[in-house]
Structure 1
Amino acid sequence: MLDVLVQSRRNTKAAKRFFKKLLKGLRYVPRVVVTDQLKSYAAAKRQIIPHVEHRQSRYLNNRAENSHQPTRQRERRMKRFKSPRQAQQFLSAHGPIHQHSHPRRHLMTAAEYRAHCAHAFEVWKQETCVRRAA
């Protein structure tokens, strides 16, 4: 997941806003953009990044769509977000934390995965000020 932007509409104006926000945070121009088959993404991409390849497929986007499953589960447990602002705040914080603690296991060896998990737990302990009882 690169970014989350909660919006009330899925039109071209909203898609342009999303692409601008996404590209502002990147230090490079992407080679390929993969989205679902919503037509407003294609229109916005043509205006903002016309030289980038755009792939629209219900199968290519599965990884991006499946990355939202923990969010949907959390939303169900919370019985819906109270407002779009609350959803944006939660999703902006939840994304990086979830990626920190759930690495892309299929790209790592077992030793790399264990090292990554150990490092993630150490960072979590430092950030949350949890100290071992000695």
Structure 2
Amino acid sequence: MYDCFSLSLREVELILAARGVVVSNETIREWGLRFGHTYANSLKRRGPKPGDKWFLDEVFIRIRGKLRYLWRAVDQHGSVLDVLVQGRRHTTAAKRFFRKLLKGLCYVPRVLVTDKLRSYGAAKREILLSIEHRQSRNLNNRCEVSHQPARRRERHMRQFKSCRHAQRFLATHTPIHNNFQLRYHRLSAGEYRAARDHAFSIWRDATGVALAG
């Protein structure tokens, strides 16, 4: 609930109390730190193979009053491929993000779509030389829209406490949000319920709930 919805730890505590599960918000926070990353990695392994068209974008976030940048990549289906919090948005930062993407996904895209930030072109020429690169502010709307869930969480949490805190939370939040992002506006009622059941089935498998039951 904490990673999927815009809920505070105290709100999750209240919801669980209504269901007869009495725990403190600090216990929930510790659960998230202990199990969240494991669950997120498990969901990544069970998720569908990402598309071959990658959209990259970066937005600024403020951490303790200092400007930082959240780099994000999504595929043509809207699934977030990876995120990385960095202090700059120069060529070195772009190359670092490219390498993180390639290491995590273990394949290269067919097309790369970015805005006109020069750092992307410089990094692409060094790391993804043979890949088609399209640069346009309008073509990159898909990635810009995908920042919205993180923006909502940032406001709800009254900003992140550190770069490490932001990276740790978003690295967990992103795969969980991907799993339950069902795009209901494109589905009939029956299709939506089937997709929702499938998402919960993947979640139970990833977290071991099915085995415990």
Same fold by TM (over 0.5)? yes
- Partner letter of residue 23 of structure 1? L
**What does the per-residue CA deviation read over 1:27-66, in whole Å, with 9 as the maximum and x for residues that have no partner?**
3221101112211011000010111011111111111111
Deviation at 1:74, TM superposition (A): 0.7
Q: How does 1:1-134 map to 2 (within 5 A)?
A: 1-105=80-184, 111-125=190-204, 127=207, 129=209
SS at match of 1:59: coil
- Counterpart Cα distance in 1 of 2:183 and 2:82: 17
Give the length in aligned residue pairs: 130
Unmatched tracts of structure 2, length 5 or more: 1-79
What's the TM-score once normalised by structure 2's chain length?
0.56
- Partner letter of residue 136 of structure 2? S
What's the TM-score once normalised by structure 1's chain length?
0.86
- Counterpart Cα distance in 1 of 2:133 and 2:114: 8
- Counterpart Cα distance in 2 of 1:85 and 1:7: 10
Unmatched tracts of structure 1, length 5 or more: none
Considering fraction of residues, name the structure with more strand.
2
- Counterpart Cα distance in 1 of 2:185 and 2:121: 30
CA RMSD of aligned residues (A): 2.1
Mean CA deviation greater in 26-35 or 120-129: 120-129
